[in-house]
Amino acid sequence: MNKMTVRDIEVTGKRVLVRVDFNVPLDAKTGAITDDSRIRASLPTINYLLEHKAKVILLSHLGRPKGKVVDDMRLAPVARRLSEILRQQVKVATDCVGTEAEKAVAALKSGDVLMLENLRFHPEEEKGDESFARALASLGDIYVNDAFGTSHRAHASMSGITHYLPAVSGFLLEKEINTLGGLLDSPTHPFVAIFGGVKVSDKVAMLKNIIGKVDYLLIGGGMAATFLKAKSYEVGASPVENDIIDIAVELMKNAEKSGSRFLLPLDVMVADKIDASAAGKVVPVDAVPPDKMIVDIGPKTIELFTRELEKSRTVFWNGPVGVEEIPQFAKGTHALAKLLPRLKARTIVGGGSTAEVITSLGLADKVTFVSTGGGASLEFLGGDALPGVVALRDKV
C-alpha cells in the first residue's frame, strides 16, 4: 500500500482521531455484544497509539439510526467492552461534535481513550457534510482511518475530515489493502474463488476483475440460480435476476476464454419456503421442481467443490452457498467453512455474512485472514477506488 500509516507520523502527546468500524452485532433482547471481532481487529492501532502516549479519540457508527438519536444504538456498550479488553477505562462522550465532545476531548491526558457518540446520529455524517467534517476535525491533531469496512463510503468521517487534518492509515486498513490487493497481484496457484450470497449484481464488477486470475470459480448461494438459468436450467421458484442473465452468460464465456473454470452446482437442496419449519430435499440440478426454490448446495456439489479446494494454494470466499441462517440449509456453507483450516492454502474470507459464519464456527483464527469489509471488499476487488483510502496521504 502506498499510503502513509500511523507509524509514519509523530503521535506522542497528540489528539489522534481514529475512525474505527465498531458496528458490532447486538443481542436484540439484552443489548449485549454478540461478536467483538471488529473491536479486536483495531487493537493493533489503538495499542500502538497508547504505547506512544497519544490521546486516542475513537469515531464510529453503530446500526442505522438514520440521522436520529436512538438509545439502543449508543456506543456505551462498545466502550465498556473495549475497556475490558484494554484493561483501562474508555471514556464516553454524549455526542461526537459540539460542547460536550469538546469538553471530553479537553480533559484527555496522554494514554487516555475516549469514545465519541454514534456518528450516524447526525444526518450530516452520511451526507459527507463539510461543516460536520470540520467540526469532527477540530477535536484532533491527526486523523487515522482504521475502518476498512466503511472506506467505500464518502462520508464526513471517512473522506471529508481528511481535508482538515493530516490523514494516515491504521494497521487494520493497511493489512486489508495489502492482503486483498495481493489476491489479484500475486496469488499462489491453483487459486480457487468461492462466490455465494443472494445476488449476482452485487458481484459483477468483482467477478469481471477476478476472472482470468483464478483457476476455478465455485458458485453457490442464491446467485447460483441466476447462473443456472443462464445455462437454460429450470430453477423452479428460486429468485432469479432476469436482468442479469445476459451478463451471467458473458461472465461464463469470459471465464472459458481466459482459462478459468466456472463450476456450478451438480445437485441442490430445495424447499417450498425459506423458513425454519421448512423441510429440504436434495435433487439433481436438472430436476428442480417448479414449486420449489434452491436453498443450499447438495452433497455431490460439496464433494466437487472439496476436490478443487484440496488442490488449491490460494482460496478467496465471499458469500454463503446456502441460506446459512436456517440450520437445515446451512450444511454446504458449514462444510466448506470447516474445510478451510485443513487446506494447504492461503485462505482469505471476504467479510460480511461469510465472516460471520467463520466467526460463529470458531474458525476465525484458523484461516489466514478474515476481512472486516463486506461491501468495501467487493468494491476494492472490483477495481474501484475507495474514497476513504484515496483521501489518505501518499508515501513520499
Q: Are 151 and 170 in contact (CB under 8 A)?
A: no
Q: Which residues contact 227 (CB under 8 A, 6 or more apart)?
A: 200, 219, 248, 252, 262, 264
Rounded distance, CA 200 to CA 241, Å? 8
Q: Which helix (H) or strand (E) holds 221?
A: none
The catalytically annotated residue of 128, 196, 221, 352 is 352
Give the count of beta carbons closer than 10 Å to the beta carbon of residue 237.
17
Angle between helices 331-339 and 299-311 (to 10 degrees): 20
Active site residue 338: no
- How far CA 41 is from CA of 70, 74, 118, in Å, comes to 26, 20, 19
| CA atoms of 194 and 302, how far apart (whole Å) | 12
From CA 369, how far away is CA 377, in angstroms rounded?
A: 13
Catalytic residue among 38, 74, 120, 153: 38
Residue 45 contacts residue 18 (beta carbons within 8 Å): yes
Q: Which of 80, 127, 134, 199 is catalytic?
A: 199
Can you tell me which residue has the cell 446451512?
A: 330
* Residue of 63, 67, 182, 375 marked catalytic: 375
* Surface-to-core class of residue 198, CB atoms within 10 Å of its CB (0-12 exposed, 13-18 middle, 19+ buried): middle
Angle between helices 245-258 and 223-230 (to 10 degrees): 80
Q: Is 352 a catalytic residue?
A: yes
- In whole angstroms, give the CA distance from residue 146 to residue 388: 10
Cis before 190? omega within 30: yes
Q: Which residues are marked as active site? A: 38, 199, 352, 375
